[in-house]
Amino acid sequence: MKKTLIAYDSRTGNTEKMAQYIAEGIRFSGNEADVKRIRDMKSEKDLVGYDAYLFGSPTYHRDMIGTMKTFLFTAQKADLAGKLAGSFGSYTHSGDAPKIILDTTSVPTFCRQQ
């Protein structure tokens, strides 16, 4: 059984709903998923012990939510190189945030995407 961390933030609840639905799908497949709001994660220690990571952010002003930027600096300290990672997020038209997160985390020292 694999364990996935779904770390997200959300202003109006849409990305939060996505995080919960994704977790439901992972659990349905017989694996484990923890859903954590990034403002409740204080240090890189909160990212230890997972096989895969999903980072969720809505798009505001063609960018990821501000708290996600700070969180990605924390995540980088967690030494996730070689781990699986993906991104998601709610948006209405341009949907930049998931793409920017993937771009950021594809730095070789960060994580591996699949």
Ligand X SMILES: Cc1cc2nc3c(=O)[nH]c(=O)nc-3n(C[C@H](O)[C@H](O)[C@H](O)COP(=O)(O)O)c2cc1C
**Binding positions for ligand X, rule: CB under 6 A:** 10-15, 58-62, 90-95
Question: How far apart are the C-alpha atoms of 18 and 16, rounded to whole Å?
Answer: 5
Q: From the DSSP assignment, how many helices (H) and strands (E) are in the chain?
A: 3, 7
| Residue 15 beta carbon to ligand X: minimum distance, rounded to whole angstroms | 3
Q: Which of 102, 21, 23, 112 is nearest to 57 (CA)?
A: 102
Is 68 or 78 the residue whose CB approaches ligand X more closely? Answer: 68
CB 70 within 8 A of CB 7: no
Query: Least distance in Å: CB of 57 to ligand X?
Result: 8
Give whichever of 62 and 77 is closer to ligand X, judged by the CB atom: 62
Nearest to ligand X of 19, 80 (CB atom): 19
